[in-house]
């Protein structure tokens, strides 16, 4: 399953980051996920819980910030959310082109416990 392999990769990244920070425990993982990235939040947490057992990430909560896709107008440069069946700029009626906005998938930060202190890195 796709979410399963994505979650494994995510867990590796989180554990690497936690190790470099000397974390004893990972409390929360703040993820930024574009709507076009296609990964579903709930299954991500489900697989994360499963794979993180026995690691410092066990019990960590995943907080997802979704990013709505945006198009950029080729005439005026405005960024806008595409309306259904339309690529037109709402400001000037110009043609919109796809951007990377909405395809994000990265760790914004993690909340960890290190030597009794809660750190947000």
We find the least distance from the C-beta atom of residue 99 to Zn ion, in angstroms, to be 14
Q: What is the smallest separation between the CB atom of 97 and Zn ion, expressed in angstroms?
A: 11
Helices (H), the chain: 2-20, 41-51
Contacting residue, 57, 67, 73, 110, with Zn ion by CB under 5 A: 73
Residue (34 or 96) nearer to Zn ion, CB: 96
Window contacting Zn ion (CB under 5 A); options: 3-11, 12-20, 22-30, 77-85: 77-85
Per CB under 5 A, 90 contacts Zn ion: no
Q: Are strands 71-73 and 79-80 parallel, antiparallel or unpaired?
A: antiparallel
Cα-based distances in Å from 76 to 91, 96, 97, 108: 8, 10, 12, 30
Q: Determine, following the binding rule CB under 5 A, whether residue 92 of this chain makes contact with Zn ion.
A: yes
End-to-end Cα separation, the chain, in angstroms: 30
User: Regarding beta strands 105-114 and 117-120, do their DSSP bridges make them parallel or antiparallel, or are they unpaired?
Assistant: antiparallel
| Interacting span for Zn ion (CB under 5 A) from 8-16, 18-26, 63-71, 86-94 | 86-94
Does 33 help bind Zn ion (rule: CB under 5 A)?
no
Rounded Cα distance between 22 and 38, Å, is 32
Q: Which residues bind Zn ion (CB under 5 A)?
A: 73, 75-76, 78, 89, 91-92, 94
């Amino acid at each position: 399953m796709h979410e399963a392999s994505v979650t494994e990769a995510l867990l590796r990244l989180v554990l690497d980051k936690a190790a470099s920070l000397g974390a004893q425990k990972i409390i929360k993982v703040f993820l930024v996920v574009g709507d076009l990235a296609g990964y579903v939040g709930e299954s991500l947490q489900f697989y994360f819980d499963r794979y993180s057992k026995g690691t410092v990430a066990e019990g960590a909560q995943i907080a997802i910030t979704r990013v709505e896709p945006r198009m950029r107008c080729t005439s005026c440069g405005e960024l806008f959310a595409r309306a259904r069946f339309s690529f037109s700029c709402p400001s000037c009626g110009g043609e919109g082109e796809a951007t990377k906005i909405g395809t994000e998938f990265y760790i914004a930060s993690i909340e960890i416990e290190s030597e009794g202190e809660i750190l947000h890195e």
